[in-house]
Every structure is written in C-alpha cells, then in structure tokens.
Structure 1
Amino acid sequence: MKFASHLAGVTIALFLSIGLVQPALAQQSQIEASAATLTGSDKQIAAFYASVGYSQLWTGRKNTARARALLAALKSADDHGLPKARYQINAVSKALKSRRKADFGKNEIFVSQIFTRYAQDVNSGLLRPSSIDKEIALRPKKISATALLSGISKGNPKAFLANLAPKSADYQNLIKESQRLSKLSGKPSADVPIATIKPNMTHPNVALMRAKLRDLGYGNLGGSNTYDAKLQKVVKEFQSTRGLGADGVVGPATLRAMNLKPADQKRMVAVNMERQRWINFPRAKRYIYVNIPDYSVAIIDNGKKSFTSRTVVGKNTDDTRTPEFIDSMTHMVINPTWHVPASIAGKEYLPIIRKDPGFLRKKNMTMLDRAGNSVNPATIDMASYSENNFPYHIKQRPDPGNALGLVKFMFPNKYNIYLHDTPSKSLFNRETRAYSHGCVRVHKPFEFAYALLKKQSSNPKNMFQTHLKTGKESYVNLKQSVPVIITYQTVVFDDKGRASYRGDIYGRDAKIAAALRRAGVAI
C-alpha cells in the first residue's frame, strides 16, 4: 500500500512537471493569491472565495452553464439601458476560455468583479442619485458582492441573473417600450405641424395625426383628412393617458405629446429604467406612491392601485421643488393648524404685513413672539425687519380656508414635506400643476383619508367626519405605518401597458440622461 501511494505521488509529480494536470490545490492557491490583492469593496469578493475554500466559480467544465449565462446577460445589458462596454465582454470571454495557468487566479477574480458590477447595476442602478441632484434623496439598496456570488453559486444561474432586474410592472413595461421603439422604422411618421385641429374639421394634418397615433400603438386609423367621431374618441384616450385635458381638441400641448420623437422617447425610457432600479426593493403589501411629474398619488394594495388622486407639487424654484425620498406615514391631522415656515413668513408674508397690518387677522392667522405670546403687527415697526431677521412665528388656525385645508397626512422627515388638502381646488384642473411650496396637495383628501383608515375602522368615513365636525385640531394615528415613495417617473403606463410621457418639470431627467451618457449608455 505504501509503495502504491508512493507510485501515485510520483505519477502526479510527473504529470505536473510536463503540464498535463493542475490539481485543485494549485488552482485554489492562485485564487487565494489574487483575492489577497483586492481592496475596498472588492474585499467582499475575497470574503466569498475564502468562504468556499477558494474553489473556482466560473472556470472549468462544471461551471460552463454559469459562465455562459453570465456572458449572455452581459451581451443583453443594453436591453436594460446599461453600457455594454462597462462590462468588458470580450475580456470576460477571453478570461473564461484562457488555459494559461499563470493567469488562472487573476481571471477567476476578474470575472467575479465584472459579474458583481453588472449585478449591482441592473439591480439597484448604475448611478448614485444624490451625486446627480441633491434633491434626489433616494438611497438604492445595494446587494453585497458576497451575497451575489453566493447566490449565483447555487441553483440555476440563468434564473438568478434574470431575477436581478426589478420585477415591478413599470420596469417590465419600460423594457417592452424600449423594444417597441427599437422596432420603429428609420422613417417614422412625419411630425404633425402645430396647428389646432378641432372635431369635424377636414385638414391635411388629420391624416398625419392618424399615422402618428398608429405608430404610438392606437391601431390602424386609416388615412382620411376628416377629424371624425372615431378619431376623436382615440384622441381623447391619448390625451387622458398623457395627463392632458381630454377634450378632443388637438392643440399645441397635445401635438407636442404626439410629436415626441422615438429617440427622445428612448432616452426617457433609459432614464426611467435607472429610476426604477433605484427603488428596487421588496414593497410592503400596502404603500403610497407619489409620482411628481405625473401629478398623482396612489395607494397600492397587494400590487394594485386601490386609490388614485391628482396632486399639486412644488414649484420649480430652488427652495420649493418636491424632493424624492422614501419614508413612512404614521398619522393624519384633521383640522390642522398651519405653522408657517420661517422662509415663507419672512419672504412672502412680511411684505404683505408691512402694507396691511390687518392681513393676518383676515386670514385667521396670528403672530407670536419667541416666548409664544400673541402680538399685534400694527404695534410693531415691521420696516425694521427683513426676510433674514424676521423674529416672529406665524400660524394659521384650523379653518376651511387654512392653507393646509382640512387634513394633512404626516410622514415626519427632514424636508418637512407632507401630503395635505388645500382650499385652492381650481389648480387641480390644470394640466401643469407645480404650484406648491414643496408639499404635495391632494385633490381627493377625504377619500384618501377614508382609504387609509379602512384598515382600522369598519366605518372610516364616519370616524373621519366625527373628528372633522369638531372643528378642532386632532391627531389620528395609523395603526400600521404606511411606506411613502416619492418618485419622479416621466414614463407611465395605462392599464393596457401603453406608455405616456410626462414633462421633465424640474430638469432632473436631463441631468440623469447626461450622467448616463458619461457612464457610456448609448442614448
């Protein structure tokens, strides 16, 4: 037996000396040596290999399926609006095919680095949101390299890679929309000239409009120059899905929406894919979804909208734009008091009070000193104060004319942003609704409250109205807090999966598109 063992050892040594075999021990040693050179976040890769005894993950016959799945995923990176060049596909392919023993460990680690890069990009985004715009206060949840490598080392690698991208309906629709845009002919239908078209008109532009709507997925509408009832119905549907007034009159705003070019649409799709990756995390059974450029809020229950409403969002100025962030709604305040932010008090109300000391009384407001005592503006020299040193606090008592309306919905956050009612109802009828100081005004606040309270009351309407009728400020806690996602999706989809494109009201999409270009995305 000793002789046989000795003979086997001599044989292996002989094979090694002539290059016929490289034992697993030698391979593991090379991987360990290469892993030892990793720094920064790549140390997570080293930790994974240490946990599996530095065994190979990508090379060797037993790993062929995993290697092929990775290459296929990298080659289709542009389907997700990601830059293929970032993933060095040719270099990965060469590393997987290489039989050069001296490079074995280096190649193994290199492929894991590229896999981790791609997996994190497609799962939680290529870019860091706050580096693009400080008002995009989203924090994507990155999966660690260790967890990713561990995940793909088990089970079906093709399925694992496919499951990295967001599974939300919006993301899947964005992929389909990108594919649809790619299939459009090199000569899409001509733009419809800007000229108002009304029902029953006969005009050459009508035939162009029919062709444009056909390319947008509304079916074959013929080539007639007459704007008939059938076409009017389609136009109203188009206007409705675009967030436009569905009146059937094809004016400048409707024509601009129709004339959005495929290249512009594809750029917006790529930007919105990135945004969806930033909020790719397991959602609660119930959450609130605020889409700033869509001017909408929805309650999502078990993946479906159970409530929707129009909204008014922040004006496009440096101190009033609505930021993007995620928090949790904890309570609502019925018959709220409005504590006027210092910035608004000094900038907007001080000049008015100077001219009319009785203004606050007319608006059911009171002015308080730092000790909390009510003071009469008429007895104070308001000219001695400026926007920057105005020392008084202004509050508005509960009232139907209160700037917050009759209810506000609270998710305490550092931005002092919340959802609330408003007495300015007429603004909800406008197509563009960016008028607030940053908070989100809700068109149907009572119905929103009823929907939220439905989980904790058999008669939510009665519960809410009982508090409301007192005329006094009261707090109603939600028994279970509800996550609130405030996002900025400029491509939205109707129930049939058809895309609608919204205006980039704050210019954030343009910033993201520029950052994606710098990162190598072809848009």
Structure 2
Amino acid sequence: MYLTCRSFFARTVAAGAFSVALGLMSGMAEAQVTAFKQAIAEAASADDAVAKFYRAGNYEPIWTGDTDQARARRAALLDTLKMARLHGLPDLTAKADALIAQMADVRTTRDLGLVEVALSRAYVDYATDVQIGQVTPSKVDSGIVRDRPERDRSAYLTQLNTTAPSAAMRSLAPDTPEYRGLMKEKLRLERLMASGGWGEKVPNRKIEPGETGDNVVSLRNRMIRMGYMRPTPSRKYDTTMQAAVQQFQLEHGLEADGVAGKETVQQINIPVRQRLKSIIVAMERERWMNRDRGPRHVLVNQTDFTAKIIDDGKVTFVTRSVVGKNTGDRRTPEFSDEMEHMVINPSWYVPRSIITKEYLPKLRANPHAVSHLEITDSRGRRVNRGAVDFSKYSSRSFPYAMRQPPSKRNALGLVKFMFPNKHNIYLHDTPQKHLFSREVRAYSHGCIRLAQPFEFAYALLALQEESPKEFFHRVLNTGKETKVVLEQKVPVHLIYRTAVVTPKGRTEYRRDIYGRDAKIWDALERVGVALPSVQG
C-alpha cells in the first residue's frame, strides 16, 4: 500500500526507534502513483545499479511502504549507518540524520519518491564499502596489483526482498575469523585510547636482563599496561620481565631474545592510535580479499616474511621467506594467481632488467665478468664472450639473453614454484641461506625465497604422489631441469598485512616495510575515515 504524502511523517518517532509513525490512506490516486514512480525513475537514474533494481521491479518501493517489513528495513538501515564506524568506515551518523530529516520533510509525491531512492543509494553505498572496500588498491600504490571483488550492486537491494533486513545488513561485511578478530581488536584499542593508552613511553635505550632502576620501571609499567605482565613492585629486569619482552617480540616479528634493544623499544613505544590505524587498514585489505581463496592455498605475508600452506582454514605448513628489497622496482607486488607447476633443477633465465642494470656495466668493463652465467643469442646459442664488444651496447640495444644452468649455486637454488604472471614473480629455493636468520628479510629482486623449499615441495606433491619426498629426490638426483605439473592448481595469495589475527585470537603486528599501509591510511582519511578524538 502506498502512503499519503501529506501525512507521511505527521507523527513523531517513538523514543529510541528509527522508524516513524505513518499516516495512512486507502491508496494513492492513479496520477499520484504515476508521479511517484516517475520521481523514483528520475532520482535513480544517477546510479546505474539502483536504476537497474527499480526498473526490474516496476518502480515499486521497498523502503516507504506502510508494512512491517518496510519499517524494519528503515530501522535496520538507520541503525547500520550509525554503527558504520565499527567497521573502520567513515562516521555515517550525519548521513542517517539527514535521511531522517528528509523523511520528515516529505510533502509531495515527488518528495516521497526521492526519499525512496535516497534510502536505496545510502544502503548500496554502505554495502559496497563494507563488503569490497572504500578505496581502489592500485590507485593507492602501484605495487598493490589487486582488484576489488566487485559485485552486482543492484543485488544488494534484491537481497532485501528475500532476507530479513537486519540479517541482510549484518551479512555484508567479510564473514571470516580474521575480519571478526580485527573488529574485536579495534574495539579493544579504542577502549584503551579512551583510558589513556599504554602510558609513558620507555626511554630510547637498550635495557637488558639483570638491570634495575627507572628505565626498568618504565619498561615494566608499559608491559603491564600492554597486558604482557601482571602488576608487580619489582624494579629489576627479572625472568618474568624477560619472558614478557620475549612474548612481545614474538608477536611483533622481532628476534625473541628477551632483551629490550633499540628496535624492540621502538616497537614498544608505538602508540595505541598507530596500532589502531594498522587494524583499520587491515580491515580494508580484508575487504579487498573478500572472495573464495580456495580450500587449499598458499599465503605469503610480505611483512611477516613467511609462506604458508592453508588447508580448509588451517595452517598445515609454514616457512620463513625473503621478499623484495625496499627500493625501486624490487618491492614484491601484491596479487593472487594459481600455482601450476614446479621446476626441479631449474635454470635461471636472468630478467632483462637485471641484465641491463647490473650485468651489462660489468661486461663492458670485463667481458669475462659474471662467468657463472651463459650469454645466449636470440636462437638460444651460446655466445663467445671474447668475440663481443660489450662497450658498444646500451641497455636498449643489448641483443643477448643470460642464463645460469642448474646447480647448487644457481640463484634459484634447486627448485622453483611457478604461478605464471606478468610480474615474473615466483617462489624458489636459494643458495643464500644465511638471510633467513635475519629479522627483516627484504633482499630479493622481487621473487619469494623459501627457507624450506624441499619441505614445501613435499607438501604440494602429497596430493598426487604416494611418496612425495622420494619422488622429489629421484627427480632432483638426475640433475636435469624437470617440470612437474601440479594435478590440482593451488591459488597463491601474496598479501601485505601489518596486523594479523592468530588462530588463537591474538593480534600480532609487523612493520610497514614498504610504507604501503601508510598510503592506504592516507587514502582512507581522504574518504572520511577517522580515529576517535581521544589520545592514546
């Protein structure tokens, strides 16, 4: 039943409710109905998705009817908009208030049609932001080569015809343990900010077990406020404090030696508000990944320097990794693809960018430089270095390719894992094992090096080989470059998270090694996301 325009909001809203009392009449005159639908069509034309929905439904209203369902939709929408900040979205309270005011000001049939569309557009905009993200990843940083998981925006409105309004709106956010954990941590940090944060910072100097004095007291107080220690009167850096520092280090990607060194103190002193930014950015990133990742998939978190195999939501394998150096074009990009095969005893076909930037200058000075690499012509034939005047070639005119044959000294080690992509990024072994003992492991040209590549291969092959280890080494021992196709392709997700929720529900933090999260936060601020005004 349609509502009379003059009495649409003639009575006041019940205390604490968002729907209004509606004056009713038996129905609109045909001319009024036509004008109402024309107003909807006109207003909806500014948004293709909203227009599509109303065209499909013959411009029937879903918000402004005098039914329990319509009232429930209005109430649910206004409630949802006023709670948008819980999801790290802009505060939409003013938007909700504006909609209430617009509804209260309805005087004509046209006004009523405009209200109908205004409610739909507010809902679709909110649904899009909370489900797939507020900003476009590649516009924030060219290294984030990830598309938002776009949806048919008109389907958000269609869902309201088949699902209870509150349930429909609750279902919009990513339904993952990670997202729920991030929301929980966001609320915790906001409460901490309101109560003064983690207290005074620790003096910026190394503090070691066995010490006593004011610096130790400062560290003790900070660790207590952060939840790593119970209150104690002790002024000594004792075993209890050492264990607390070690736990903090483990949860922040630091060497867990129990010593509050320079980097540890720096991380301890990061304020609550900065950690809260990491959480909100991680929630936005989770929205960008709001799609099926595959029952089995490989997850590489660049900030954590790890590569994991996930099976049905559980980590079944994890190893340390090395990622791209934080300079120029070496930073590892973020994207998803599918692993199709591995190559045992791989050759390294040197990327042209490395040839021209790193090796050509050496060859100009000495044609026998980098002798571990073969130089080949366009037909793959080996070139006699002594017969070439490398000095006459520029980075553009250099006509040759370079290859390192299979060996234990090969830059790719003894196995590489391929998910063919335009970035020429893959996972591989490396002879530079010493790098895996370092705290920050950003040294490669962009590819992901694995600390335990053989074990990684066994895990992948376990789905298709009865004895994966035996199979792998049988091929390896031939010394020949061999391609092994994976019978079941495995999705690979290269992500970048400075805030991660563990399976036990704890939130861990990592350094923003490429500065990407800082850029995302700036972009979120530009669309209206803000921290609570209290300091912490």
Aligned 8 A contact 1:119 1:164 in 2: yes
Q: One-letter code of the match for 1:215?
A: R
Higher helix proportion, which one?
A: 1
Equivalent-residue separation in structure 2 for 1:228 and 1:169 (angstroms)? 36
Q: How far does residue 27 in structure 1 lie from its aligned partner after superposition?
A: 6.8
Equivalent-residue separation in structure 2 for 1:183 and 1:43 (angstroms)? 41
Q: How far does residue 379 in structure 1 lie from its aligned partner after superposition?
A: 2.3
Q: One-letter code of the match for 1:357?
A: P
Once the two structures are overlaid, the 10-residue window that deviates more, 189-198 or 110-119, is 189-198
When normalised by structure 1's length, the TM-score is: 0.92
Equivalent-residue separation in structure 2 for 1:496 and 1:211 (angstroms)? 26
Q: Relative to structure 1, is the Cα distance of residues 497 and 45 closer, same or farther in structure 2, using a 3 angstrom cutoff?
A: same
Q: One-letter code of the match for 1:33?
A: Q
Once the two structures are overlaid, the 10-residue window that deviates more, 330-339 or 88-97, is 88-97
Aligned 8 A contact 1:346 1:387 in 2: yes
Question: Which residue of the other structure, out of 62, 65, 69, is the alignment partner of 2:76?
Answer: 69
Q: What does residue 397 of structure 1 align with?
A: 405
Once the two structures are overlaid, the 10-residue window that deviates more, 153-162 or 325-334, is 153-162
Q: What does residue 246 of structure 1 align with?
A: 256
Structure 2 residue 233 is the aligned partner of structure 1 residue 228? no
Q: Relative to structure 1, is the Cα distance of residues 297 and 381 closer, same or farther in structure 2, using a 3 angstrom cutoff?
A: same
Deviations along 1:10-63, one digit per CA (max 9) or x if unpaired, are xx9xx9xx9955439667534531343257782221222232332221123321
Structure 2 residue 351 is the aligned partner of structure 1 residue 318? no
Aligned 8 A contact 1:32 1:50 in 2: no
Q: How far does residue 340 in structure 1 lie from its aligned partner after superposition?
A: 0.2
Q: What does residue 209 of structure 2 align with?
A: 199
Equivalent-residue separation in structure 2 for 1:39 and 1:507 (angstroms)? 40
Aligned 8 A contact 1:334 1:406 in 2: yes
What secondary structure is seen at the aligned counterpart in 2 of 1:141? coil
Written as runs of structure 1 = structure 2, the 5 A alignment for 1:235-384 is: 235-361=245-371, 363=372, 365-384=373-392
Deviations along 1:111-152, one digit per CA (max 9) or x if unpaired, are 100100000100000001111112211111122222110112
Q: How far does residue 208 in structure 1 lie from its aligned partner after superposition?
A: 2.0
Percent identity, please: 44
Equivalent-residue separation in structure 2 for 1:24 and 1:131 (angstroms)? 50
Q: What does residue 53 of structure 1 align with?
A: 58
Q: What does residue 534 of structure 2 align with?
A: none
Deviations along 1:210-252, one digit per CA (max 9) or x if unpaired, are 2222332324242422111122122112111211111111101
Written as runs of structure 1 = structure 2, the 5 A alignment for 1:384-463 is: 384-463=392-471
Q: What does residue 502 of structure 1 align with?
A: 510
Once the two structures are overlaid, the 10-residue window that deviates more, 200-209 or 290-299, is 200-209
Aligned 8 A contact 2:144 2:333 in 1: yes
Aligned 8 A contact 2:228 2:247 in 1: no
Q: Relative to structure 1, is the Cα distance of residues 339 and 36 closer, same or farther in structure 2, using a 3 angstrom cutoff?
A: same
Structure 1 unpaired stretches of 5+? 1-11
Aligned 8 A contact 1:136 1:325 in 2: yes
Q: What does residue 23 of structure 1 align with?
A: 28
Question: Which residue of the other structure, out of 103, 107, 112, is the alignment partner of 1:100?
Answer: 107
Q: Relative to structure 1, is the Cα distance of residues 150 and 222 closer, same or farther in structure 2, using a 3 angstrom cutoff?
A: same
Equivalent-residue separation in structure 2 for 1:417 and 1:288 (angstroms)? 14
What secondary structure is seen at the aligned counterpart in 2 of 1:319? helix
Question: Which residue of the other structure, out of 477, 484, 490, is the alignment partner of 1:482?
Answer: 490
Q: One-letter code of the match for 2:60?
A: S
Q: How far does residue 202 in structure 1 lie from its aligned partner after superposition?
A: 1.6
Written as runs of structure 1 = structure 2, the 5 A alignment for 1:74-153 is: 74-85=81-92, 88-97=95-104, 99-102=106-109, 103-153=111-161
Q: CA RMSD in A?
A: 2.2
Deviations along 1:145-202, one digit per CA (max 9) or x if unpaired, are 2211011222221121111111222211211111111111125311111111122222
Equivalent-residue separation in structure 2 for 1:441 and 1:34 (angstroms)? 60
Equivalent-residue separation in structure 2 for 1:27 and 1:417 (angstroms)? 62
Equivalent-residue separation in structure 1 for 2:213 and 2:397 (angstroms)? 61
Q: What does residue 480 of structure 2 align with?
A: 472
When normalised by structure 2's length, the TM-score is: 0.90
Q: Relative to structure 1, is the Cα distance of residues 31 and 466 closer, same or farther in structure 2, using a 3 angstrom cutoff?
A: farther
Aligned 8 A contact 2:428 2:450 in 1: yes
What secondary structure is seen at the aligned counterpart in 2 of 1:209? helix
Q: What does residue 216 of structure 1 align with?
A: 226
Aligned 8 A contact 1:29 1:54 in 2: no
Deviations along 1:497-518, one digit per CA (max 9) or x if unpaired, are 2222222111111111111111
Deviations along 1:52-89, one digit per CA (max 9) or x if unpaired, are 33222112332111111111111111111111249711
- Equivalent pairs counted in the alignment come to 506
What secondary structure is seen at the aligned counterpart in 2 of 1:330? strand
Q: Relative to structure 1, is the Cα distance of residues 193 and 165 closer, same or farther in structure 2, using a 3 angstrom cutoff?
A: same
Equivalent-residue separation in structure 1 for 2:171 and 2:482 (angstroms)? 46
Equivalent-residue separation in structure 2 for 1:265 and 1:164 (angstroms)? 25
Equivalent-residue separation in structure 1 for 2:61 and 2:460 (angstroms)? 52
What secondary structure is seen at the aligned counterpart in 2 of 1:506? coil
Aligned 8 A contact 2:44 2:117 in 1: no
Q: What does residue 492 of structure 1 align with?
A: 500
Deviations along 1:318-371, one digit per CA (max 9) or x if unpaired, are 21111111111111111111000111011111222334433343x2x2101223
Equivalent-residue separation in structure 2 for 1:27 and 1:332 (angstroms)? 68
Once the two structures are overlaid, the 10-residue window that deviates more, 501-510 or 46-55, is 46-55
Equivalent-residue separation in structure 2 for 1:287 and 1:97 (angstroms)? 52
What secondary structure is seen at the aligned counterpart in 1 of 2:227? helix
What secondary structure is seen at the aligned counterpart in 2 of 1:472? coil
Aligned 8 A contact 1:31 1:108 in 2: no
What secondary structure is seen at the aligned counterpart in 2 of 1:504? coil
Aligned 8 A contact 2:281 2:520 in 1: yes
Q: One-letter code of the match for 2:446?
A: G
Q: One-letter code of the match for 2:387?
A: T
Equivalent-residue separation in structure 1 for 2:215 and 2:248 (angstroms)? 17
What secondary structure is seen at the aligned counterpart in 2 of 1:348? helix
